[in-house]
Structure 1
Amino acid sequence: MLATIERVLILDRAEEISKMVLQSEIAEEYFRCIYKVKNNLETQRKIREFIKVKEQYEEVQRFGKYHPDYRVVMIKVRELKREMDLDEHVAKFRIAENELQSLLDEISVIIGHSVSEQIKVPTGNPFFDSSSNCGGGCGSGGSCGCSA
């Protein structure tokens, strides 16, 4: 494949954008939150306990309500998930993660639409997906006006 000036410029611009994202306040907050989650002993304990019970949960799911430990494991997994979700560091991490994902979704939509308004950028976010002609999955075979 030949490297044209246009391709080199596009790659340079993409690298600039990635550097700007990594240096953004949103990304910095994300990395701070990851650090706190990974280095807080209590948070790590909660995560380890949840993972251990989640493995039991997956085993119980194979047999469903007929498994002898079904009720005990189901209650325990919910309790530990709630405890983990309410952990200060995990909660802040999830917020930071969602904000970073939103930033990346916005950038993807801007880049996609700068090429063509007809490009569908699957973000997983209904706010961004609704701006496309189709909405991401109308299932109507094109009757909505999309080019499905």
Structure 2
Amino acid sequence: MLATIERIELLENAESLAKMVLESDIAEQYQICLYKMQHNKETQRKIKQFVGLKELYEEVQRFGKYHPDYKKVMMQIREYKREMDLDPFVAEFKVAENELQDLLDQISRLVGNSVSEHIKVPSGNPFFDNGHGSGCGTGGSCGCG
């Protein structure tokens, strides 16, 4: 693969775009929220408590309602998950994470559409999965996209 000027410019532009994303307010807010979540002792306790019970939950799931601790574990996992999700630092982080993901989805859609409106661009956001670019990957020729 020969390095052409066009390819070098394309790589430079991609690096520039990545730098702009990293320097954006959205990415900065994400980093701040991640730091706060990782450095709050009470938040970390809740996360560790949930992760610890999650292992037991996976064991119970193998046997389903026939496991002797099924009801107890199912109730605890819901309580621990709710406690973790309602933690202000976890909630703030999830909002920032979703905003960053939305930005990345929008960029992916713009880049894909600049090549062709039939480019399939994966995203976790159903808003971007509508219309062209979604479907079976045949470029819309089957009519599913």
Does residue 1:2 correspond to 2:6, yes or no?
Answer: no
Cα 1:143/1:7, change in 2 over 3 Å: closer
Provide the rounded CA distance (Å) in 2 between the counterparts of 1:65 and 1:118: 46
CA distance in 1, matches of 2:17, 2:124: 21
- Cα pair 1:122 1:136 within 8 Å, conserved: no
Q: Which amino acid is 1:132 matched to?
A: H
What do residues 112-139 of structure 1 show as CA deviations (whole Å, max 9, x unaligned)? 1111111111112111111316x4359x
1:136 aligned partner:
135
Q: Which amino acid aligns with 1:6?
A: E
User: What SS class does the counterpart of residue 113 from structure 1 fall into?
Assistant: helix
RMSD: 1.6
In structure 1, distance between residues paired with 2:23 and 2:5: 27
Indicate the residue corresponding to 1:124 in structure 2.
124
What TM-score does the superposition give when structure 1 sets the normalisation length? 0.91
The equivalent of 2:80 in structure 1 is 80
> Runs of 5+ in structure 2 lacking a partner?
none
CA distance in 2 between counterparts of 1:137 and 1:3 reads: 33
Structure-to-structure mapping, 1:1-148, within 5 angstroms? 1-132=1-132, 135-136=134-135, 142-144=142-144, 146=145
How many corresponding residue pairs?
142
Q: CA 1:143–1:108 in structure 2 vs 1: closer, same or farther (change >3 Å)?
A: closer
What TM-score, normalized to structure 2? 0.93
